[in-house]
Chain A
Amino acid sequence: MERFLAAVEKQAYQMAVIAMGNADGALDLVQDAMLGLVRQYASRPETEWRPLFFRILQSRIRDWHRRERVRRRWRGWLEQWRSGEAEEEADPFHEVPAAETCNPARQVEGGAALAALVAELKKLPLRQQQTFLLRAWQGLSVEETAVAMGCTAGSVKTHYSRAVHALRQQLEGHWP
């Protein structure tokens, strides 16, 4: 089990950083996913670990996004309540991530081509982004990706095809 986790941890971390834009949060999330796999599925055949691990990771990423949305909404209400300026629109600068959370991808990004790829991946909708990474990078089959993403095989094909199309269109200058 430890050998398997050592083989996937860096990739899982990169996927979480791309999805969350937050290096510390990504580390916690990967640890949580590893813990989930050990606790729930250590007794399953080794061939199943990869799709199960990525399923747990995807589930944690989705939960994180849901909670972030809720937190942002509550923060907005509380700030309005505190300032008593209910009529005012929410300050758009509050939606901009803090400086340190803007840059975690620095650790992931190396050359200019990788930087461009990561930037374009971050622009994709979360499902397209993660489907693309699971299929193109992790080499999961359509069915395994569907299990990992908790959706149908048809959805996986659609998300993947849209992601490939969008990335190729945007990265023409940097890539073959």
Chain B
Amino acid sequence: MKKDKDEQEFLAAVRRALDGGGDQLDAATRHRLARARMRAVEEGFSPKTSRRRFRLLAPFVATLAMVLVAAALFFQGGSGVTPPATEMTADLEIITAAEAPDFYADLEFYQWLAEGEEHAG
């Protein structure tokens, strides 16, 4: 019982301290956060032209990145530093993927969300 009470007091103190940290943010940071919020709201509700443009460019950027990496490895010559092939492939996928890496890990979540929408609608 006392242990639970101690833990509750500890957690309340943590919340107070972290809330206090938010109040202590300097004016410049608060201003930048407010600007970021306004930009997000503005861009979020506007047509997605820039995203579409990025999606069109993504395959070219990915190809260019792969060519550059291949060239770097080719000219690496005899320095003896050869990254493992499997790691390189995984890295390239992460660097060049048009989708965020978590998208693939989150497929179940999107499925759940879609099911929720079906039930709601």
Is the pairing of A and B real?
yes
Q: Which residues of A contact B (CB under 8 A)?
A: 1-2, 5-6, 9-11, 13-14, 23, 27, 30-31, 34-35, 37-39, 42, 55, 59-60, 62-63, 66-67, 70, 73-74, 77, 80-81, 84, 86-87, 107-111, 113-114, 117-118, 133, 136-137, 147, 150, 164, 167-168, 171, 175-176
Contact between chains at B102 and A59 (CB < 8 Å): yes
Q: How large is the interface on B (under 10, 10 to 19, 20 to 34, 35 or more residues)?
A: 35 or more
User: Is B64 interfacial (CB 8 A cutoff)?
Assistant: no
A-B contact pairs, 5 of them (CB 8 A): A10-B22, A11-B22, A73-B87, A114-B17, A175-B14
Contact between chains at A70 and B95 (CB < 8 Å): yes
Q: How far is the CB of A111 from chain B (nearest CB, A)?
A: 7
Contact between chains at A63 and B20 (CB < 8 Å): no
Contact between chains at B109 and A147 (CB < 8 Å): yes
Q: Determine the distance from Cα of A136 to Cα of B20 in the docked complex, in whole angstroms.
A: 15
Q: How far is the CB of A113 from chain B (nearest CB, A)?
A: 6
Q: Which residues of B contact A (CB under 8 A)?
A: 6-7, 9-11, 13-15, 17-18, 20-22, 24-26, 29-30, 32-34, 36-41, 43-45, 48, 72, 76, 79-81, 83, 87, 91, 94-95, 100-102, 105-106, 109
